[in-house]
Amino acid sequence: MKNVICRLSKIILIYVILFTVVFIASRHFLSILGFEYRRWVFYGLEIILISGIIVGIAQMIIKIKRSKLKKVCAVLLAVSIVIITPIVIFAHAFGYQPLYVVTKHNYKMDAYIRQSHHVTDISYYDYINLFIRGKNRRLQERYWGRVDNPFDNSNEIISLTWFDDNGKAIQE
């Protein structure tokens, strides 16, 4: 048994799986308490997971004894990295939502901006700390068109909606 644990402790993929399980459990626990991780934490998680998976698979390929199988697996890993990396970069480049920490109506909030061609929506959540924010949206502002800097006072607000603790709109 001790020999098996010693071998497993040297496998990087085991650590990646454990890290993922701990992260999912902590996310669930935070959700029960009414919090969630801020968006940048997920970006960091993706980098850690992708790097860990690549290094873990490379470690497994190195342990393969047959050279032909080792070469085929190495080529498949390289090809998959070349194909997957641009897809991930492309998805993040076009799916990026800027995040700001602002003080709005005497509350410190996280502001997530979503823009389309016709409207700009800003959703505000309770700021808790560097890693965590409130789960429920507190305030939403809507502007006509794309707004370069929604935090200067020259932009005209179409709608302003406040939300209660359960996420229900209470004032418009």
pLDDT 10s digits, 49-92: 888 888 888 888 888 788 888 888 888 888 888 888 888 888 87
Nearest residue to 158 via CA among 117, 106, 107, 120: 120
Q: Is 1 helix (H, G, I), strand (E, B) or coil?
A: coil
**Is the pTM here over 0.85, yes or no?**
no
* Vertex 159 angle, CA 158 and 164, to 5°: 165
Averaged pLDDT for residues 102-117: 84
Looking at residue 144, its pLDDT comes to 80
pLDDT over 90 (residue 26):
yes
